[in-house]
Amino acid sequence: MAQPPIICTVDVVLLCLKDAALHVALLRRDHAPFAGALALPDGYVDPEQDRDAQDAAVRILREKAAIVSPYLEQLGTFSGKGRDPRGWSISVAYYALVPAHIMDLARHPALQLLTVDHLKGQPFDHREIIQAAVERVRSKSTYSSLPVYLCGERFTLPQLQGVYEALLGEPVNKVSFRRKMDELDILEPIPGAMETGRANRPAQLYRLKKKYRNQLSLTGRGLNPDPLK
């Protein structure tokens, strides 16, 4: 007797930082199963278009969210016969980070941003996938350059520190943070570019060095929270 086909899809957890809180982008499903529910951008692998699962993830983000992410990483594989009412299924999940202004510029009519700490009612095992992505991002934020991909192309060091603090959920010691940035060696000052228009003195604007714009830099020790807080 022929075995029923296994459903194979790719799911993408698209994250951005808005109002100092981590948000995930969800789309309202327009077909069964779970028509009308807010779910992750997902889709089938297209064997004629996609060289691999990552190609499928890039295509799905482009087609369903009108976004090309500066950082996309495989999260893991989620599988089983109970996750999809249509049958036994397997999903290769990815997570993508984008600055909030890119999400705003996309203006996809079906795209909705929800804070990751207040999710409910997601179909399949999408809530579990989102939680796994959030845990991965927060863990990597302690020892890598990952939070930089939630910034725009230009940012000050205090702005970047604020992104790290938002992800870690606690204040970070300024001296420790600056030391961490020196160890990662990922930033370069933009010649002649300063942030002005504030009451305090103008701040130097930075950007990622070219070789790190699509890959992480890692450091051997974690980022210490502010011992005075």
Q: Which residues pair with 96 in a beta bridge?
A: 14, 72
Mean pLDDT for the stretch of residues 209-213: 85
- Find the length of the chain: 229
CATH code, residues 7-140: 3.90.79.10
Mean pLDDT for the stretch of residues 4-25: 94
SS3 at position 62: helix
Domain ranges of the chain: 7-140, 146-212
CA distance linking residue 202 with residue 141, whole number of Å = 27
- Choose between 37 and 228: higher pLDDT: 37
Q: Could you tell me which residues come within 8 angstroms of residue 166 by beta carbon, excluding any fewer than 6 positions away? A: 17, 20, 21, 22
pTM of the shown model: 0.89
With a cut of 80, say whether residue 216 has pLDDT above it. no
Residue whose pair of structure tokens reads 């502010």 in the numeric block = 226
pLDDT in tens, 124-165: 999 999 999 999 999 999 999 999 999 989 999 999 999 999
CA distance linking residue 208 with residue 215, whole number of Å = 10
SS3 at position 84: coil
149 C-beta neighbours (distance < 10 Å), count: 25
Whether 7-140 and 146-212 share one fold: the answer is: no
- Choose between 5 and 124: higher pLDDT: 124
pLDDT in tens, 196-207: 766 678 899 999
Looking at 3.20.20.10, 3.40.50.150, 1.20.1250.20, 1.10.10.10, the CATH number of the domain 146-212 comes to: 1.10.10.10
